[in-house]
Amino acid sequence: MARITAADTPWALHAEAVGAAARTDIGTGLTPREAAARLEADGPNSLTHAAPVPAWRRFVSQFADPLVYLLLAAIGISLVAWWAEGREGVPYDVLVIAVVVIANAVLGFAQEGRSARAVESLSAMAAPSALVRRAGEPTRVAAADVVVGDVLLLAEGDAVAADARLADGAVWAAEAALTGESAPAAKSPAAVKEDATVGDRTSMVHAGTAVTRGAATAVVTATGMDTETGRIAALLASTEVEPTPLQREIARLGRTLGVVVVIIAVVVMGTVFATRDVSTLPEVVAVLLLGVALAVAAVPEGLPAIMSVVLALGVQRMARRHAIVKDLASVETLGSASVICSDKTGTLTQNRMSVRRVLTAGGTVDTGRDARARIGDGEAPLDHDAAVALAYGSLASDAVARRGGGDSIATHSTAANDVASHDVASHDVAFEGDPTETALLEAEYALEARHARHGLDRIGSVPFSAERRRMSVVAAHPDGGTLVAVKGAPDAVLPRCTHALLGGEETVLDEATRTRLEEGIAALAGEGMRTLAVAYRRDPDAAPDRAATEALEHDLVLAGVAGIVDPPRTEARDAVAAAQGAGIRVAMITGDHPGTAVAIAAELGIVPDAEAPVLAGAVLARLSDQELREAVRTVSVFARVAPEDKLRIVDALQSHGEVVAMTGDGVNDAPALRSADIGVAMGRGGTEVAREAAAMILTDDDFATIVTAVREGRGILDNIQRFLRYLLASNLGEVLAVFLGVVAAGVFGFVAADGSLVAPLLATQILWINLLTDLGPALAVSAERYADDLMARRPRPLVSPLVDRAMWGTIAWTGAWMAAATLLAYDAFAPGGLIEGDADVTTARTAAFTVLVLAHLTNAFSARSDAASMVHRLWTNPWLWGAVALSVALQIAVVHVPALNDAFSTAPLTLAQWGACALLALVVPIAIEARKAVLRLRSRRGATVRAGAEARGAALG
């Protein structure tokens, strides 16, 4: 079977040699039988996708979490203890933990499924069919049925179905998705060097690109995974997916809690065995139950579920803001991003061409950042010469303008000047055609230059070709005779000019003026602009029906040279500034020209000016990994890079501890999207490969949406820290209460009336506390309104723990006071305690139980901030007030409903006892507020000392 590989360098071979290697006759193509045989042997022309993960496996994966492992272990131990003790009824502790674990899994499974369906709705814009020559006849086949050796018949607007070598004709292909180049690339049958890069293989067209102009036949050299797109897809498949910072942090927290659980359980059970004679099975079971209670107290059962809820809510908010997150944990990662590596074309720019400057014999006219944005602004700053250049350049093109309803405007006739002004002002005009030609037409409309060709009706043309590099038209002039308009590459037009338009007058083009124009053209090219020269010749005596031929392209008058760029998105500059204000560095990584890249980067504020350093792909390839790691510290613009270069850049940044977000829309972005901490793909203009590689997809293709996502990520991180502060402090209070109570009872020999070991709280009560306070209030705490200074903070360092030393200090302080209040309540209500009456152990345990619940609920208000008072923004979160009120009501039910008394071993409390419990619980928020006040005082003093030192330093300086 015929096969051609990249090693055969088909771009460097003659077309006939490629046809011979593919065993096909370019004139007739393959026969249907031969095509079918090759399709059977080589497989369909499509990319290999990873097999979809079955729903059951995605559901099971929700349990792959260290905290869930701890909860499952607690379920197992509880079941063993319940069975060994021979208890009857419902094992409430097991039931409660199981409900929490399953609810967490269902929630995560549902949200990830919703995101997956949203991604599927953004189906790839792949070539659905292709026109090929088979048995000498044009035949349209499914793109998947194209095989090596097929002869593609390419025309304007066609999507290229496979990599192919041009045999004849000429086309221009939009390859931005593959190479990063904004302008369409000219393609011709002429062979190129063997070592030519993808962007320089002008004899090849590639799968996934599109023909913008021209017609050609081409021999297919590669299909499916053998294409350039397939090569990048294979590279993507070999790129490992790193866990997000949040996943690493939660895993670390789960491991820490697991170690703590084991240590506490061993210490407590060891204390009991050392201080008491445990010899019977019931006594052994009681000790095991005590260990289970401590394990349950140490593990925040609600943490996995609340984490999923918080992330899911964030994902839904982001979806409303045009960002689809495929993986929940990726939301927080974007909030921690310290570097955003962005592709240029289509991400920071609009992926279309626009006239930026017009060079004339009299000087350079700046048309503004984006001509299209100026349509209908009522300003016409162009002088006569620049207006003529744009008007005649538009005349010498095939671009057309259409009204919003789809009606074509007679762009190349007198009627082109009769477009209603409100059509233009309301942007009710669409421009269609080659991007370079539509740029001229847009500028003509935007800058009101159409008057310069009033009355000119096009009657013939000489088309653009790769060899001629120019296009000419002949138009009937309203004053009689004809006008020849020529548009093309400056070096193909300027030599044919003998005069230049200067101040509306045709003057001789002397050497000084020619030199000045050539220097101006070089300057435009140096800024990364594509240049098009426009010239004309008026022949008043010519017949109005004269034929258009190359013979007319002489003694031309140069009207001007248009400098064309891919303009930045209007919102991108503000988005870049917002990111930098949030301490995030923005780097541009593109396959485009270095001059273009640094000019756009300077305009967007990524670099201070166009003189900033640029690292080109050819230089980057020669750098060692260590040299590249040093280079990325100072360079923010990378141009002419290959997919492998993008991977190296991302890896080099990550080696400095940076959290890297990579944005892009092209096939060439996919490996770096996968390797980055979080990949962000464009959903509207992006490729399928890029969307599959990314963790987040922007449905509006707007770089500014990333800033919104960063704020959302930081807000989610803030709320995660809030509920962690709340949950861990509350659970520490439970652990210390049980631990200290049991150890004290074991050491001092405190026993209940039946001789059993005294514990201030039972396992079912601890589970109730966790269910009651760890879910509703914790979820409400996580719904706190985002802080106003989110985007004024520096990014959280990757090595910075989610629960840092300061937070651990708050957690320890709060947990200690909770345990103290709980044990004081138990001691006060116990027989012989401070409160007189017929209280027994059950009543004392109920009082301790109630005090701990109330202390948990007051901590929900305090945990919203590590330093601000709990009364700050006290009424801004109605969900928290509702959750606290519901929890209090449920606690009252547990204390006073007989059925719940039996289930949770509680006893009713009198009104006076409730009052005493409330007073004891208030000890906790008072202690927390006192600590916060001290911290705020220290912070103010520190700020005063620093300000004084800075003032003294300034005075000495």
User: 201-221 pLDDT, tens per residue?
Assistant: 889 999 888 787 788 999 999
Mean pLDDT over each residue of the chain, to the nearest integer? 80
Q: Are 151 and 24 in contact (CB under 8 A)?
A: yes
User: 602 is written with which tokens?
Assistant: 């300077």
pLDDT-derived band at 484 (thresholds 50, 70, 90) equals very high
Q: Are 822 and 766 in contact (CB under 8 A)?
A: no
Separation CA 723–CA 880 (nearest Å): 12
The string over 638-664, giving b where at least 16 C-beta atoms fall within 10 Å of a residue's C-beta and e elsewhere, is bbbbbbbbbbbbbbbbbeeebbbbbbb
Helix, strand and coil content of the chain, in percent to the nearest 5, comes to: 50, 15, 30
pLDDT (0 to 100) of residue 288: 67
What spatial distance separates the first Cα and last Cα of the chain, rounded to whole Å? Answer: 80
Q: Which of 147, 121, 190, 143 is CA-nearest to residue 34?
A: 147
The string over 150-189, giving b where at least 16 C-beta atoms fall within 10 Å of a residue's C-beta and e elsewhere, is bbbbbeeebbbbbbbbbbebbbbbbbbbbbbbbbbbbbbb
User: 739 is written with which tokens?
Assistant: 């631990």
Separation CA 742–CA 294 (nearest Å): 10
pLDDT (0 to 100) of residue 414: 45
pLDDT-derived band at 462 (thresholds 50, 70, 90) equals confident
Choice between 298 and 320, residue whose per-residue pLDDT is larger = 320
Give the range among 189-193, 632-636, 948-952 with minimum mean pLDDT: 948-952
Phi-psi region of 431 (alpha: psi -120 to 50; beta: other; left: phi over 0): beta
Q: Which of 821, 736, 845 is CA-nearest to residue 267?
A: 736
pLDDT-derived band at 125 (thresholds 50, 70, 90) equals very low
Q: Does residue 460 register a pLDDT over 80?
A: yes
pLDDT (0 to 100) of residue 374: 47
Q: Does residue 699 register a pLDDT over 80?
A: yes
Q: Does residue 571 register a pLDDT over 80?
A: yes
Separation CA 52–CA 67 (nearest Å): 27
> Which of 47-61, 73-87, 631-645 is modeled with the greatest confidence?
631-645
pLDDT tens track for 57-111 = 878 877 776 667 767 776 776 677 677 666 666 676 677 677 767 876 776 677 5
Separation CA 173–CA 157 (nearest Å): 9
Q: Does residue 186 register a pLDDT over 70?
A: yes
Residue identified by tokens 């409430």 is: 92
Edge-to-edge strand ranges of the sheet holding 429-432: 408-409, 400-403, 429-432
**240, HSE (Cβ side, Cα atoms, 13 Å):** 4
Separation CA 452–CA 364 (nearest Å): 19
pLDDT-derived band at 360 (thresholds 50, 70, 90) equals very high
Residue identified by tokens 């139950």 is: 289
Encoded amino acid at 60, one letter: V
User: 483 is written with which tokens?
Assistant: 């006008």
Q: Are 377 and 427 in contact (CB under 8 A)?
A: no
Choice between 579 and 90, residue whose per-residue pLDDT is larger = 579
Please confirm, yes or no, whether 25 is among the known catalytic residues: no
pLDDT-derived band at 380 (thresholds 50, 70, 90) equals very low
> Which of 91-100, 196-205, 310-319 is modeled with the greatest confidence?
196-205
Q: Are 176 and 164 in contact (CB under 8 A)?
A: no
DSSP-derived pairing of the beta strands 400-403 and 660-664: unpaired
Separation CA 927–CA 32 (nearest Å): 85
Q: Which of 664, 682, 509, 505 is CA-nearest to residue 589?
A: 664
User: Mean pLDDT throughout 178-194?
Assistant: 80
pLDDT (0 to 100) of residue 745: 67
Give the range among 276-285, 435-444, 640-649, 812-821 with minimum mean pLDDT: 276-285
Kindly state the percentage of the chain with pLDDT values over 90: 23
User: 907 is written with which tokens?
Assistant: 């006893």
pLDDT tens track for 876-920 = 889 999 999 999 999 999 999 998 888 788 899 999 999 999 999
Q: Does residue 26 register a pLDDT over 70?
A: yes
User: 82 is written with which tokens?
Assistant: 């319940």
pLDDT (0 to 100) of residue 789: 78
User: Mean pLDDT throughout 520-525?
Assistant: 89
Separation CA 671–CA 235 (nearest Å): 6
354 forms bridges with which residues in the sheet?
565
Q: Are 353 and 439 in contact (CB under 8 A)?
A: yes
Separation CA 775–CA 180 (nearest Å): 49
Strands (E) in 302-360, as ranges, are: 323-325, 339-342, 354-360
Q: Does residue 512 register a pLDDT over 60?
A: yes
Choice between 130 and 800, residue whose per-residue pLDDT is larger = 130
Encoded amino acid at 566, one letter: D
User: Mean pLDDT throughout 372-377?
Assistant: 46
pLDDT (0 to 100) of residue 638: 93
Q: Are 344 and 364 in contact (CB under 8 A)?
A: no
Q: Which of 343, 385, 677, 701 is catalytic?
A: 343
Q: Does residue 435 register a pLDDT over 50?
A: yes
